[in-house]
Chain A
Amino acid sequence: MAHLQVQGLHKTFDGITAVNDLYFDVRRNEICAIIGPNGAGKTTTFNLLSGVLPADRGKIFFDGNEILGLPPHDIARRGMVRTFQTVSLFDSMTVLDNVKVGCHGKAGAGLFSAALRTPGLRREEKEITKKAMEALKLLGVADRAYDQAGSLPFGQQRLVDIARALASDPEMILLDEPAAGLNAHETTELASLILALKNRGLTVMIIEHDMELIMEIADSIVVLDQGMKIACGPPADIQKDPRVITAYLGDED
Chain B
Amino acid sequence: MFPDQILQFLLSGLTIGSIYALIALGFTIIYNTTGIINFAQGEFVMLGGMFMVGCTRLLHLPLPVGMLVTIMAVMLVGALIERLAIKPARNKSIVTLIIITIGVSIALKAAVAFFSKDSFTYPPFPGPEHVSIGNASLPGQSLWIMGTAGCIMAALWLFFHFTIRGKAMRACAINREAANIVGIDVEKMSLLSFGLSALIGAIAGIVVTPTTQMAWYRGTELGMKGFCAVILGGLGSSPGAVIGGLLLGLLETFGNYLFSGYRDAIAFSIFLLVIFIRPQGILRRK
Interface residues of A (CB under 8 A from B): 50, 52, 71-74, 76-77, 81-82, 84, 88-93, 97-98, 100-107, 109, 111, 114-115, 117, 121, 124-125, 128, 164-165, 168
Q: How far is the CA of A124 from the CA of B163 in the complex (A)?
A: 10
8 Å CB interface, B129-177 against A: 155, 159, 162-168, 170-171, 174-175, 177
Inter-chain contacts of B163 with A (CB < 8 A): 114-115, 117, 121, 125
Cβ-closest 7 pairs across A and B: A105-B183, A76-B183, A88-B178, A90-B174, A114-B165, A104-B168, A102-B182
Chain B residues in contact with chain A, CB under 8 A? Answer: 155, 159, 162-168, 170-171, 174-175, 177-187, 192, 195
Interchain residue pairs with CB less than 8 A apart (21): A52-B177, A71-B187, A77-B183, A84-B181, A88-B178, A90-B178, A93-B174, A100-B164, A101-B164, A101-B179, A104-B164, A104-B167, A104-B171, A104-B184, A111-B195, A115-B155, A115-B159, A115-B163, A117-B163, A125-B164, A165-B182
Is A90 within 8 A of B164, CB to CB? no
Q: Are A104 and B180 in contact (CB under 8 A)?
A: no
Contacts of A77 in B (CB 8 A): 183
* Chain B residues positioned under 8 Å from A121 (CB to CB): 163
| Given A90-B171, A93-B170, also A76-B181 (CB < 8 A) | yes
Tell me if A101 and B171 are in contact (CB < 8 A). yes
Told that A76-B183, A115-B159, A125-B163 touch, could you supply 12 new A-B pairs with CB distance under 8 A? A52-B177, A52-B181, A73-B184, A76-B181, A89-B178, A90-B171, A93-B171, A97-B167, A103-B183, A109-B165, A117-B163, A121-B163
Which of B162, B181, B186 sits near A50, CB closer than 8 Å? B181
Report the Cα distance A125→B224, complex, angstroms.
Answer: 39
* Chain B nearest CB, measured from A206 CB (Å): 17
Instruction: Please name all residues of chain A whose beta carbon is closer than 8 Å to the beta carbon of B164 when the two chains form the complex.
Output: 100-101, 103-104, 107, 114, 124-125, 128
Contacts of A114 in B (CB 8 A): 159, 163-166
Interface class of chain A by DSSP? helix
CB-nearest residue of chain A relative to B174? Answer: A90
The smallest beta-carbon distance between A45 and chain B, in angstroms, is 15
Chain B residue with minimal CB distance to A77?
Answer: B183
Say how far B237's CB is from chain A's closest CB, in angstroms.
11
Most buried by B among A77, A90, A101: A101
Instruction: Output the nearest chain B residue to A150 by Cβ-Cβ distance.
Output: B174
Nearest-Cβ distance from residue B151 to partner chain A, whole angstroms: 13
Report the separation of the CA atoms of residues A80 and B190 in the bound assembly, to the nearest whole angstrom. Answer: 24
Q: Output the least CB separation between B160 and chain A (Å).
A: 10
CB distance from B148 to the nearest CB of A (A): 16
Contact status B159-A168, CB under 8 Å = no
Task: Give the residues in chain A near B162, CB-CB below 8 Å.
Answer: 117
How close is B231's CB to chain A, nearest CB, in angstroms? 21
Residues of B within 8 A of A106 (CB): 183
Interface centre among B170, B178, B192 (most CB of A within 10 A): B178
Residues of A within 8 A of B182 (CB): 76, 81, 101-102, 104-105, 164-165, 168
Q: A111: shortest Cβ distance to chain B, in Å?
A: 6
Write the nearest CB–CB distance from B235 to chain A, whole angstroms: 16
Q: Is the Cβ of B175 less than 8 Å from the Cβ of A88?
A: yes
* A102 x B183 contact (CB < 8 A): yes
Most buried by B among A71, A111, A125: A111
Question: Closest chain A residue to B195 by CB distance?
Answer: A111
A87's closest neighbor in chain B, by CB?
B178
- For residue B49, give the distance in angstroms from its CB to the closest CB of chain A: 23
Which chain B residue shows the least CB distance to A89? B178
- In the complex, the chain B residue whose C-beta lies closest to that of A161 is B178
- Asked whether, in the complex, the Cβ of B181 is within 8 Å of the Cβ of A104, the reply is no
Task: Decide: A71 near B167, CB < 8 A? Known: A91-B174, A93-B174, A114-B159.
Answer: no
Give the docked Cα–Cα distance between A18 and B118 (Å): 62
Contacts of B181 in A (CB 8 A): 50, 52, 72-73, 76, 81-82, 84
- Partner of A73 from the list B159, B183, B195 (CB cut-off 8 Å) is B183
Set of chain B residues within 8 Å of A98, measured between Cβ atoms:
171
A168 vs B168: C-alpha distance when bound (angstroms) = 14
Whole-angstrom distance between the alpha carbons of A186 and B234 in the complex? 40
Complex Cα distance, B169 from A115, in Å, reads 13
Residues of A within 8 Å of B195, CB to CB, are 111
What is the CA–CA distance of A124 and B184 in the complex, to the nearest angstrom?
17
